[in-house]
Amino acid sequence: MKSWRAISVFAATLACIFSIALLWPRAARRLEASSFALAAPWAQAQQTPTIEDYNPKSTLVVPEHKIQRAKFPFIDIHSHHWNPTPEHVDQLVKEMDTINLQVLVNLSGGTGEELRKTVATMKGRYPTRFVVFANPSYDDINTPGYGQRAAERLAADVRNGAQGLKIFKNFGMDLKYANGERVHADDPIFDPLFEKCAELKIPVLIHIAEPSAFFDPWDKNNERWEELKEFPQRARPPSKYPPFETLMAERNHLFAKHPKVNFIAAHLAFHGNDLERLGKLFDTLPNMYVDIAAVLAELGRQPYSAHDFLVKYQDRVLMGKDIYEVNEYKWYFRALETRDEYFEYYRRRHAFWRIYGFQVPDEVLKKIYYKNALKLVPGIDAKAFPN
């Protein structure tokens, strides 16, 4: 009897020891987590952020040069101001003076009476501070003789003060004939219009296609995912649009068959992510130029390549901003003029990455800021700029 009781006590003791060994690590973890929560109450509310919410603040400590005003007076070759009022123009000039913006090019002049009104409102008030580009009308594109009429309208617009031609992004993508056929960017119907540009010696700033990522599947691998979520209409699925490479081929053919026209391809020709490819185009097409409007993030993520590219092709690149906001130009100044590291870009949807300054030499900076535009756009007063 005594031995049975001893065996029972021994078994109960073993069970207690086993339970303690099994449960102790879990209890210890709970105790540790409880102690941590008491020590750091903020941890209790911690949640996993979404990709859109995640916005880490850099702890990097490096020299910063937050430039507010361009080193040299500059020309913004790429801006949009539809039907501006006198009050808007007066405010523009006040803001332009604060950042050393000497000449602003309004690419949204329209044609006909709209063009005349815009020229009067902008250049009539400040003759040396603004340039206005005309835009083609496609209203009569299905009527025979369109190309010649478009050329005649442009000639009239130039007589009324236009200093260049701007072609918007629907060209090559959304523009269609009455039968539903897409109007190709190199369609011969436009030959008279471009021949008129050569005759008048005015540049053509042209927007063909969109960033190549907009033509790719909108999935976790797309680096413009956030922008496409914010603006789904910017996606270019193959069911509705031609492939990116098709548009590039049409654009390049257009430039090649009109060698006497100076074409400025907007937004680094959408090759800001492949500067080697853009350089080869420059080597092939001597009448091709680009602006850097709205693609600063492309250059800023590759500062060494950007610096070398801009030095090599310094005669082919123009300053531009696109969406006008006077407080956003300073990112361009900082990138072009300094070697600052790892700073935030001003529009997150264009870039979830940070950018770097690629500081180009002053002579290159002058060409980007104003000399190349003076070379291409007739009628700008060069006396406002240093030699």
pLDDT in tens, 62-107: 999 999 999 999 999 999 999 999 999 999 999 999 999 999 999 9
Q: In the prediction, which pLDDT does 42 show?
A: 52
CA distances from 198 to 191, 255, 258, 263 (A): 11, 12, 8, 10
pLDDT over 60 (residue 16): no
pLDDT higher at 124 or 14: 124
Q: In the prediction, which pLDDT does 113 show?
A: 98
Q: How confident is the model at residue 206 (pLDDT cuts 50, 70, 90)?
A: very high
184 closest CA partner among 268, 139, 251:
251
Structure tokens at 136: 């083609």
Q: In the prediction, which pLDDT does 52 show?
A: 82
Percent of the chain whose pLDDT exceeds 90: 84
pLDDT over 60 (residue 23): no
Q: How confident is the model at residue 26 (pLDDT cuts 50, 70, 90)?
A: low
In this predicted model, what pLDDT tens digit does every residue of 343-376 receive, in sequence order? 999 988 888 899 999 999 999 999 999 999 999 9
pLDDT over 90 (residue 11): no
pLDDT over 70 (residue 51): yes
pLDDT over 80 (residue 273): yes
SS (H, E, C) the chain: CHHHHHHHHHHHHHHHHHHHHHHHHHHHHHHHHHHHHHHCHHHHHCCCCCCCCCCCCCCCCCCCCCCCCCCCCEEEEEECCCCCCHHHHHHHHHHHHHHCEEEEEECCCCCCHHHHHHHHHHCCCCCCCEEECECCCCCCCCCCCHHHHHHHHHHHHHHCCCCCEEECCCCCCCCECCCCCECCCCCHHHHHHHHHHHHHCCCEEECCCCCHHHHCCCCCCCCCHHHHHHCHHHCCCCCCCCCHHHHHHHHHHHHHHCCCCCEEECHHHHCCCCHHHHHHHHHHCCCEEEECCCCHHHHHCCHHHHHHHHHHCCCCEECCCECCCHHHHHHHHHHHHCCCCCECCCCHHHCCCCECCCCCCHHHHHHHHHHHHHHHCCCCCHHHCCC
Q: In the prediction, which pLDDT does 28 show?
A: 46
Q: In the prediction, which pLDDT does 43 show?
A: 54
Lowest pLDDT segment from 25-29, 193-197, 321-325, 373-377: 25-29
Total-model pTM:
0.88
Q: In the prediction, which pLDDT does 350 show?
A: 86
Q: In the prediction, which pLDDT does 97 show?
A: 98
Q: In the prediction, which pLDDT does 348 show?
A: 85
